[in-house]
Structure 1
Amino acid sequence: MITILCSGSRGDIQPYIALAIELKKQGEYVRIAAGKSFGDFITSYGIKHFPLAADYKSVDIDPKLLEAAQSSTNPLKMLFTFNKMKKYSKMMVDEMYEACIGSDVVVYHTGCTIGYFAAEQMGIPSVMASPFPMLKTSKVPSIIAYGKTKMPISLSYKMLQGMLWMASKTGVILYWKEKFGKLPENFNCPFELVDENHPSIVSCSNYVFPRPGDWNKNVYQFGYWFTQENDEYTPPKELVEFLSEGEKPIYFGFGSVFNEKNKDKFISYVKESLSKTDNRGIICGMGNVKNLPENIFAIDRIPHTWLFPKCLAVCHHGGAGTTAAGFAAGVPSIIIPFSNDQFAWAHRSYDIGVGTKPIYKK
């Protein structure tokens, strides 16, 4: 049995569903340990779900802290916010360790390092599955520095790995001392501990960020992990009619980082831009939107893999998964980065010639 540990929002979990689907196709018994609020989402793809009682929706995170985490515009702000959020990791570690029991292999998100230590304790292999390139290289800055912040390349990786480890290790320390009375042997950040029994896989295209030649040979990067919508997916009739009634629309959606208080402002920007360019548009994920002109359609949620190829261009926040879906659709990207790694994807999109120059939210 292969157990995949992951955490975060819907967009964070989706690549691991794609990973699980591929493993299942190869005849493996696989399950995903993730927050209980994602149960229906995971099982809708035919993947087993190990529910964690604690997830970002149920641990009562201070809304202001969550907003700060989603709006960090430079590495120092990110470091400060990650330090504040580390106390919440203990709530998930207990159940993640239990999820690993009985597994033959543990695959873990970089924010779930309990997977590495649990696998070591149980004498089984572990695989670090990263949703973006994060292992050290001398070839290109890390995703918290690329395109936006000038700092030594080595420092950019030290900061990136340090933030992820800081947010994760507190829970591991508290849990391990409580369960075993002491820390694991040679306790340290596991991110660079890559070998045959601890390989690493990365969700990224070599056409976007080529695999660096100075990575460990046991690090594998073969492309993005995409979920393919099953044949049972049926889009809303109204959306199908809208798409058939005119030119291809421009997509506007800003994922989980979108704050309701900015709704009216953003919608006014969308209306104005489409009016000036005489284009049609689709607004996604901004809740109930009233009094829209005929050239704009609003929807709460739609699979990017289904919709993006039907669009003229995609305007979004630059989340890793949304950016990848835009690349795969073969349409231009207009990226408005809000925080964290989104600046890197916005700049990279521009640098490789498939998107506009980044438009910072501020």
Structure 2
Amino acid sequence: MAAPKSFATSVRAQDVEFAALDNGPNRLLEDPLMAEAIEGGYRGVRGKITALAAIRRIKPLMADVLRDVGAVARSSGADVVVHTPSVPAQHAAEALGVPAVLAALQPGWVPTSEFPCPMVPLPRLPRFLNRATYLTVSATLRAYSGVVNAWRTDDLGLPRGQGPRHALVLQAFSSLVTPVDPTWQDSVRTTGFWYLPRVTTWTPDAALKAFLEAGPAPVYVGFGSMAGRDAQRTGDIVAEAVRAAGVRAIVATGWGGLAARSSDDLLVIDQAPHDWLFGKVAAVVHHGGGGTTAAALAAGVPQVVCPFVADQPHWAQRMHAVGVAPQPLLHKKLTVASLAEAITHTASDPAIRRRAVELGEQVRSQDGVGVAVRELERIRNGRC
């Protein structure tokens, strides 16, 4: 597995051979420009200007990532190259002469007329414009075409071009919670969510263990890697909302999106494995990242989603649509009153809790990883 070198510990914990890539655009996660872009969700004219500025910053960093992808590919002896949309490793597959498989962790990469691109924050449009909305995503990827073409010609020794067609697209999410187009080709497979089996047993520290045992199940609040520009303000809103809702809470600071202090009814932690913790809480308040959403679904607990950017508004809307969460609360417009009301409603509504339990059982039964593995074996063995 090739990934940014900052993920080395996580990958090796799964007993998988690891190849380090340059951290690339991840270096910008704490940059003020990127924080502004994330917090604003690229909305409005200012958001689009910020997005263009972000692309200019990312381009040279992507060149470093692609250089390492090429080096790893040449030494890998790979039979298949599986990659995410943000790293165009299909070009490395072409150089190796092996199939390329796209692993889409969120919807929006396969165009359809059935629904607009979930990655793009747009008002409701007439159905005949749905397919056109996917051009926005492809245009964003084309913004890096100069970097990619230089990589193809100078590093991989290939002619300029788009690269090969993907032999397979694996959509790593559930058709139970997000729309799929029944007319998509057989090469597009929506597998169900991919859940990571824990290789080692995780043990909570004394403070977390004691807090969980000291009273009723708390609410979890965490915004993952979404930093925003004012972690202290967000932390204050969360602490006051938890107090107003009359619940206990575990607040995960993650990558800096929240700044809070522990108290009798609020415990601040850095992070904890979601598959371990979410089954022990009354509700999960989160940013709507695909991984966190999937973990909350699998745990069978109600959710409150406060989306920032990219696919997060989609997951927030879908959690409400399938009945496990109230209306989304945009992070930028988050207030003590709105968050307290959402927590109170979610934690006290038996219908939401029943639906969360029911959907959790269905999602867990799909075996998304097993489906993906069987599809990859089929491609590797030439049964396209």
Question: TM-score, normalised to structure 2's length?
Answer: 0.76
Partner of 1:267: 235
Q: Deviations over 1:265-323 (max 9, x none)?
A: 22222222222221000000256966532011110011111111111111111111111
Equivalent residues of 2:38, 2:308 under 8 A apart: yes
Q: Deviations over 1:213-260 (max 9, x none)?
A: 12121111111111132342112122111111111111111111124x
Partner of 2:191: 222
Matched, 1:130 2:143: no
- 2:55 aligned to which of 72, 75, 83: 83
Partner of 1:12: none
The CA distance in 2 between the partners of 1:302 and 1:313, in whole Å, is: 15
**Pair 358,189 (structure 1): closer, same or farther in 2 beyond 3 Å:** farther
Partner of 1:144: 119
- 1:176 aligned to which of 146, 152, 173: 152
Q: Deviations over 1:335-362 (max 9, x none)?
A: 1111222111111111111111011122
| One-letter amino acid of the counterpart of residue 217, structure 2 | K
Q: Which runs of 5+ in 1 are unaligned?
A: 1-31
Aligned length: 319
Equivalent residues of 2:67, 2:155 under 8 A apart: no
| One-letter amino acid of the counterpart of residue 112, structure 1 | V
- Secondary structure of 2:220's counterpart equals strand
**Pair 272,97 (structure 1): closer, same or farther in 2 beyond 3 Å:** same
**Pair 96,217 (structure 1): closer, same or farther in 2 beyond 3 Å:** same
- 1:247 aligned to which of 211, 216, 221: 216
The CA distance in 2 between the partners of 1:162 and 1:277, in whole Å, is: 44
**Pair 65,243 (structure 1): closer, same or farther in 2 beyond 3 Å:** same
> What pairs with 1:15-26 in structure 2 (closer than 5 Å)?
none
**Pair 359,214 (structure 1): closer, same or farther in 2 beyond 3 Å:** same
| One-letter amino acid of the counterpart of residue 148, structure 2 | V
> What pairs with 1:262-301 in structure 2 (closer than 5 Å)?
262-285=230-253, 291-301=261-271
Partner of 2:347: none
- Secondary structure of 2:230's counterpart equals helix
- 1:350 aligned to which of 306, 320, 323: 320
- Secondary structure of 1:208's counterpart equals coil
- Secondary structure of 2:9's counterpart equals helix
Q: Which runs of 5+ in 2 are unaligned?
A: 333-384
Cα deviation, residue 54, structure 1:
4.2
Report percent identity of matched pairs: 28
The CA distance in 2 between the partners of 1:75 and 1:141, in whole Å, is: 18
Partner of 2:72: 99
**Pair 61,251 (structure 1): closer, same or farther in 2 beyond 3 Å:** closer
Equivalent residues of 1:201, 1:220 under 8 A apart: yes
Large movers: runs of 4+ above 6 Å: none
Equivalent residues of 1:251, 1:315 under 8 A apart: yes
Question: TM-score, normalised to structure 1's length?
Answer: 0.80
Q: Deviations over 1:138-197 (max 9, x none)?
A: 112211246x53343112211123213434x3332112232467634xx2276xx34xxx
| One-letter amino acid of the counterpart of residue 160, structure 1 | V
The CA distance in 2 between the partners of 1:106 and 1:182, in whole Å, is: 17
- 1:156 aligned to which of 109, 122, 133: 133
The CA distance in 1 between the partners of 2:141 and 2:104, in whole Å, is: 11
Cα deviation, residue 121, structure 1:
2.2
Cα deviation, residue 81, structure 1:
4.9
The CA distance in 1 between the partners of 2:78 and 2:236, in whole Å, is: 51
The CA distance in 2 between the partners of 1:149 and 1:189, in whole Å, is: 33
Partner of 1:47: 16
**Pair 268,318 (structure 1): closer, same or farther in 2 beyond 3 Å:** same
Partner of 2:175: 206
Cα deviation, residue 127, structure 1:
0.7
Equivalent residues of 2:174, 2:193 under 8 A apart: yes
Equivalent residues of 1:205, 1:223 under 8 A apart: yes
